[in-house]
Amino acid sequence: MPFWAGPLLRILTLTVMALAVGIFLDDATGWALLAAGLAAGYAYHLIQLGRLTRWLDRTRWEKAVEVPESSGEWGDAFAALYRMRREEQAGRERLSDSLERLSQAAEALPDGVVLLDTMMRIEWCNSMATRHLGIDAVHDRGMPITHLVREPAFAAYVQDEGKVDPVVLKNTSPPVRTLSLSMIPFAESGRLLISRDITAIELADTMRRDFVANVSHELRTPLTVIVGFLEGLAAGDIVDTPNLARHHALMYEQALRMERLVKDLLALSALDDTQPPANEEVVDVPALLAVLVEEGNALSGGKHKLTLEIEAGNFYGSREELRSAFSNLISNAIRYSPEGGDIAVRWVLRDGLPVFEVADNGIGIATEHIPRLTERFYRVDKGRSSATGGTGLGLAIAKHVLIRHQAKLEIESAPGKGSTFRAVFPKARLS
Amino acid sequence: MVVSDHSSRRFDEELDELRTRVLQMGGLVEQQIHDAIEAFGVGDFEQLEQIENDDHRVNAHEVGIDEACALIIARRQPAAVDLRMLMGISKIVTDLERCGDKAAKIARKAKGIFDHEMRRIPCISDIREMGEIAVRLLRAALDAFARQDAVGAAAIVRDDVAIDEKFQAITRQLITFMMEDPRTISVALEILFIAKAVERVGDHAKNIAEQIIYITRGTDVRHVTWDQLERDAKGDGENA
């Protein structure tokens, strides 16, 4: 039924009634009735229109104003308005929900994000950008980004439109970090500034470079000696036999050193796996240590006094790995103790935990070196160490073995007083 | 932001551009000082040379900004906060330029020390620590300038004391060195010069902070007590 059917029907009824009154009574009463009826209808519509205007007016300022209710054609109109309003509200909620989700997603990003307008002014940033660049998301709105990120390299990067590579900034104040900043154009003329913390990557890069440089250096030194002698031989400079025998011995020694180094490197790369050792078994540690101390005595050549103290028993772990870790710690103690030094090797229980300990009264290590001792090729005293025949990898190997056995390496040392290297193992590995 | 709407948009832009230039200069100076102390710490000779050579860039900034300031004052005849801003900027730029000189001085002295192949340099880590504080203060001062943040500026004036204390500790330590072994006197004196330069950077950061309070609040806080200064900084800004 169309909306005009109701009113039309009412007007028709009114006209018919007025006509009937006009015919049966008199004309004037008929006209009066018609006029009164029309006036009443008009008043009704005016009232409804007033309600609508009032509602429209209020709804501009207040949120949840009920749509007025009515019947008939006004009721239909109000119902349609009510439906529209509800849909609009739902749509608005959906919109703000997805906006909320978007900004939450931007917050969760591991990188800093700053939105910039055409004039490079800050429009919005996430909390990571606050951490990286010190931008306050609320107070710094509208501030040109170059006012807060002032590094000359960044200014040059902003000015250069044809840039490709991100700019790398080092924080001038702590926390020391290296940031990589890149600007990405988006939409019409906006820009997105992404800041990424590359401190860890840089560190790993430096370590890798250092390692390669160190390995090459360590391998080259013995090679230089060998090549030198071989050249001498080829040129026929060295002919007298006593020298020849000595050179031969030196070359052999250097070749052995290279072999040791390569062996240690291979051992290290095998240990680099974080997987626990595959061939774990019950190891007779007292017997193993007895053999190692015997070997230590041979290495020392009777110049040191080695003692062995056994209190703990068998142990569950990888026999080969433990052997190499313990042997490295014992031979270190021998190398860095002067003649006549005492070296105590202990396999004991401390607070119920199995502890392997090597204590010497040798030269000791200054405090600043201790945290770096287990780094590959780290030398406390560059001149001395290679003379003692170490590869510079022993402690690194020991540390890796201990990590794989869930043990902790503790180093106590004072220059001139001697050092104690202690491995504290978990109780569960005792058998 | 303090700068209010002007009938002339162009004027606003000019002021903004000027502030950008000051901050760019500040960024350069900050980097120079940081690099100088860092290079002194690790003995990076090339870097030290680079810093000395780059000092002219800082000077060029100073000249350019001063000119722009004079031009704006002549053309626009600014009043109130704008005038204070321009006067403040011209003072801040002087302080920044001095900071740049200090960076070059540190580099020059450090080069001298390494030229003589001094094997053991005393107090190097203390100077680095002091340098870190100085750079942090300068950075905070520039941040406060960018944000026109008088309260942040007031905090810098207070923090400058930390540097002064550090400088005194270094001085005492150097005196001990010199008394123990007179051969260290020449290197200790050079170190003292470097420490003094770093300490001056802190003072310049403090001056800049005082200018920021002047710009935003219109009160001269150069020779008042801390409490008075902090009250001024937090003041409701009826002058601004």
Per-residue pLDDT at B240? 38
Give mean pLDDT in consecutive 10-residue pieces for chain A, a chain of 431 residues.
80 90 86 90 90 85 75 84 88 92 88 88 89 86 88 85 77 76 84 89 86 85 85 74 79 87 85 72 89 87 87 86 89 85 90 90 81 78 60 84 87 85 88 76
- Give domain status of residue B194, yes or no: yes
Q: What's this model's pTM, rounded to 2 decimal places?
A: 0.67
Contact residues on chain B for A174, CB-CB shorter than 8 A: 132, 136
- Give domain status of residue B146, yes or no: yes
**CA distance readout (Å), A27 to A14, A20, A37, A39, A244:** 15, 10, 15, 18, 153
- Give domain status of residue B240, yes or no: no
- Give domain status of residue B3, yes or no: no
Per-residue pLDDT at B6? 54
- CATH code, domain carrying B52: 1.20.58.220
CA B54 from chain centre, in angstroms, equals 17
Higher pLDDT, A387 or B112: B112
Per-residue pLDDT at B33? 93
Look at residues A319, A358, A354, A322 and name the one whose alpha carbon lies nearest to residue A342. Answer: A358
Per-residue pLDDT at A139? 86
Which domain range does residue B52 map to?
A: 9-234
Q: How far is B14 from chain A (nearest CA, A)?
A: 14
Contact A173 B28 (CB under 8 A): no
User: Cβ of A139 under 8 Å from any chain B Cβ?
Assistant: yes
CA distance linking residue B66 with residue B63, whole number of Å: 5
Mutate to test the interface with A, among B54, B143, B151 (most CBs of A within 10 A): B143
Average pLDDT in the B70-98 region?
Answer: 89
User: Cβ of A152 under 8 Å from any chain B Cβ?
Assistant: yes
- Give domain status of residue B2, yes or no: no
- Give domain status of residue B107, yes or no: yes
If one counts every other C-beta atom within 10 angstroms of the C-beta of residue A327, the result is: 20
Q: Which are the contacts of B125, defined by CB distance < 8 A and separation ≥ 6? A: B41
Per-residue pLDDT at A382? 61
Contact B24 A152 (CB under 8 A): yes
Per-residue pLDDT at B193? 92
CA distance linking residue B144 with residue B214, whole number of Å: 12
- Give domain status of residue B4, yes or no: no
**CA distance readout (Å), A56 to A46, A85, A87, A110, B232:** 15, 11, 17, 47, 50
* Joined tokens for residue B80: 């109130």
Is the distance from CB of A296 to CB of A335 less than 8 angstroms? Answer: no
- Radius of gyration for the alpha carbons in chain B, expressed in angstroms and rounded: 20
Per-residue pLDDT at B3? 46
Q: Look up tokens 């849909």; give the residue.
A: A87
Q: How far is A176 from chain B (nearest CA, A)?
A: 11
- Kindly identify which residue of chain A lies nearest to residue B18, measuring between CA atoms: A147
Query: CA triplet B136, B140, B142: central angle to 5 degrees?
Result: 120
Per-residue pLDDT at B121? 67
Quickly state the pLDDT bin for B95 (edges 50, 70, 90): very high
CA distance linking residue A390 with residue A387, whole number of Å: 8
Contact residues on chain A for B198, CB-CB shorter than 8 A: none
Per-residue pLDDT at B237? 43
Look at residues B121, B140, B137 and name the one whose alpha carbon lies nearest to residue B194. Answer: B121
The answer, yes or no, to whether residue B7 has pLDDT greater than 60, is no
Per-residue pLDDT at B238? 42
Exposure of A231 in the CB half-sphere (CA atoms within 13 A) = 6
From chain B, which residues contact A within 8 Å (Cβ)? 1, 16, 19-20, 23-24, 26-28, 30-31, 34, 132, 135-136, 139, 142-143, 146-147
Closest partner residue to A152 (CB to CB) among B16, B27, B132 is: B27
Q: Provide the domain count of chain B.
A: 1
CA distance linking residue A117 with residue B231, whole number of Å: 37
Q: Look up tokens 């060029």; give the residue.
A: B60
Is the distance from CB of A330 to CB of A336 less than 8 angstroms? Answer: no
Per-residue model confidence as pLDDT tens digits over B181-226? 888 888 888 889 999 999 999 999 999 999 999 888 877 777 777 7
